[in-house]
Structure 1
């Protein structure tokens, strides 16, 4: 069986290729759909620049769906984006 000699230059080249491949994996992962992000009422009000009453009306009339965990109301970022796209003028 023949012995293979690995030089420091070979190791450096391997490291460079490995780091490049890993960065490509991370970059390709960012192009996919991001994980669902949940926002609290205060964050939604700040994002949409609306009052607590307006946000409550959006919930009541079904324009914006929500999830309640205990006393905290959460809104899916995707739902907010859909409402914005639907009302785009």
Structure 2
């Protein structure tokens, strides 16, 4: 006979808080490049770096993060985002 365990709302809330804490942990590494797609959209970069749209705009304006614009969409190379996180970015104007 199988044992039935119930998950309470409090259990789910605790799990959510632990998961978010783990995802926001300082020094979090990016995915291995083989597991990551080559080009990222703006929302993906903001999520990956935990930054706002204004911060992303500032990175573009300063030349800290290279980008390509196709139509109305802006794309970023995963490699460039990775270099920015590692502090190895070069300002290109």
For this structure pair, what is the TM-score category when the shorter chain's length is used for normalisation? Answer: 0.5 to 0.7
Match of 2:54 in 1: 53
Q: Computing the radius of gyration over CA atoms, which structure comes out larger, 1 or 2?
A: 1
Cα distance in 2, alignment partners of residues 36 and 48 from structure 1: 16
Shift of the alpha carbon at 1:36?
Answer: 6.4
RMSD: 1.8
Match of 1:82 in 2: 83
Match of 2:43 in 1: 42
Q: For this pair of structures, how many residues does the alignment match?
A: 55
- Residue 53 of structure 1 aligns to a residue whose secondary structure is helix
Alignment of 1:62-77 (within 5 A): 62-77=63-78
- Residue 46 of structure 1 aligns to a residue whose secondary structure is helix
Shift of the alpha carbon at 1:86?
Answer: 1.2
Which aligned runs of 4 or more in structure 1 are off by greater than 6 angstroms?
A: none
Structure 1: runs of 5+ lacking an equivalent? 1-32
Cα distance in 2, alignment partners of residues 52 and 58 from structure 1: 10
Give me the TM-score of the superposition, normalised by structure 2.
Answer: 0.54
Cα distance in 1, alignment partners of residues 71 and 40 from structure 2: 15
Structure with higher helix content: 1
